[in-house]
Amino acid sequence: MSVPEHLLYTKEHEWVELKEDYAIIGITDYAQSQLGDVIFVEFPETGADIGCGTPFGEVEAVKTVSDLFAPLSGKVLSINEAIESAPDLVNSDPYNKGWLIKISPSKYEEKKDLMSANEYKNFIS
């Protein structure tokens, strides 16, 4: 199970990559393996405000439908449009080509509630 060291994680199995002025959000390798084959992702609108801990979309897989929870508050800058035509990227490459949204975080202090890679590894084991 892949858990990249440079990312931060939530208990709902989202990951966050913090950049200088934006953050990239996706679901973890563990999450995609539990969901099974992803067939559709419901995204928020570009420009929408999302709140930390609140649902911002859904992942529909063969096994189930699961809410996506925002790890940080902010404004949606972009969605990964490649997922719309190839949702299986969430399964095959969850940390790179399978990212979901980019946001402009409004409350960087919320990152203190996220887990490091080691904490997340312990959480899922």
What is the domain count for the chain? 1
Q: Which residues pair with 68 in a beta bridge?
A: 57
**pLDDT tens digits, one per residue of 13-42:** 999 999 999 999 999 999 999 999 999 999
pLDDT category at 74 given cuts 50, 70, 90 is very high
Amino acid at 59: V
Sign of CA dihedral 90, 93, 95, 97: negative
Task: Output the pLDDT for position 50.
Answer: 98
Domain-located, residue 112: no
Task: Output the pLDDT for position 53.
Answer: 96
1, pLDDT greater than 90: no
Per the structure, the complete domain to which residue 47 belongs is given by: 8-106
Domain-located, residue 120: no
63, pLDDT greater than 90: no
Domain-located, residue 79: yes
44, pLDDT greater than 90: yes
Q: What is the mean pLDDT of residues 45-57?
A: 97
Q: How far apart are CA 61 and CA 102, in angstroms?
A: 22
Task: Output the pLDDT for position 10.
Answer: 98
Instruction: Say if CB 9 and CB 28 are below 8 A apart.
Output: yes
Domain-located, residue 118: no
Q: What is the mean pLDDT of the chain?
A: 97
